[in-house]
Amino acid sequence: MITNLETERLLLKAPGKDNLSLYNLFYTDEEASRDYGGPLSPIEVWNRLKADLGSWYLCGFGVWVIEEKYTGTQLGTCGFWQGIGWPRELTWWLLPEARGKGIAHEASLAAINHAYTNFQWDSVETYMNDNNVPARSLVERLGGIKINRIQFPDGLYRDIYQLPKS
């Protein structure tokens, strides 16, 4: 079951068809989506949105779309992802104009708390490409502790961070 989350400034909701324009804005922008597999074609964006929604039904977890509570402006996503052969991770992305405002931090804290409290997970982890300095900085602000470095199915090595209960 997909539960919406609420923070002081944000609503985190399950993705749906009404989020396609948000996904297109992000994933067709080469610079914005560089660390997230982009840029993608419109067909690939549609498939990404379907995969994000399908994750909730196939895995029991997924990403939420982040909206500003009082304006309804869609800002990005935050939640959990796991590809075949990949570790489960906390992940997020924001439109460029939403960055640097504490939104990813606020949404991540809500997702982490939900994972420990509602999913009853023993551990919440994340990882990022070595050159993704903004993501690493956020993980450190969240209190992430490096617990491992492994080779991933794409051949790259990445550090794995465990995120604490809040």
Query: What global pTM score does this model have?
Result: 0.96
C-alpha span between 152 and 154 (Å, rounded): 5
- The arrangement of secondary structure in 5-122, i.e. its CATH architecture, is 3-Layer(aba) Sandwich (3.40)
Residue burial 70-96, b: 16+ Cβ < 10 Å; e: rest: eeeebbbbbbbbeeeeeebbbbbbbbe
Instruction: Please state the rounded mean pLDDT for residues 116-125.
Output: 98
Q: Return the higher-pLDDT residue of 166 and 26.
A: 26
The per-residue pLDDT of the chain, averaged, comes to 97
Q: How many CB atoms lie within 10 A of CB 54?
A: 13
Provide the pLDDT for residue 94: 98
Instruction: Please write the tens of the pLDDT for every residue from 10-25.
Output: 999 999 999 999 999 9
The percent of residues in the chain predicted with pLDDT above 70, rounded, is 100
Report pLDDT for 92.
98
Helix (H) or strand (E) holding 134: helix 133-141
- Give the bridge partners for 158, in sequence order: 150
